Structure 1
Amino acid sequence: MIGAVRHINPTTGRDVDDARRGIDTATLDDDTRHAIFEANARPVYPRMSAQVPTAAL
C-alpha cells in the first residue's frame, strides 16, 4: 500500500503508514482478507488479471 507519509518510526523501525501490519494483526475471516488484498484491486486494475494469477487462499 502506498501512503502519503514516508517516515520511519524510530521506536519500531517501521513505516508510519504500514497499514498491512494492522490488517495482518486484525481478526479477519479469509473472505474479508481476500477482499482487502486482492478482490478490491482487480476491478480497479483490470489488466492485473492478465499478469497476476488469482491467489489461492
Structure 2
Amino acid sequence: MRGAEWPPLSARGACAASFGAAALALFALAAAAMLGEPLGLREIAALVFTLGGVAVALRS
C-alpha cells in the first residue's frame, strides 16, 4: 500500500487541528495545576496565544 494513512489528510480540517491544540493546552495546564506547578506569566501568555490562534483558525 503506497502512501496509506488513515484518516486521510483531506479528512482532517483546520478546525479539528485547532481544537486539538486547544484541548492539549488546557489538559497540560490542568495537569500542571494538579501537580502543584506554579502558574506564571509565561504559562498564561502561552495559553492566551494558543487560544488566540484557535480563535483565528475558527473564524476563517
Question: Taking structure 1 as the reference length, what is the TM-score of the superposition?
Answer: 0.30
Per the normalisation by structure 2, the TM-score is 0.29
Name the one with the larger helix percent: 2
Instruction: Give the greater-gyration-radius structure (CA).
Output: 2
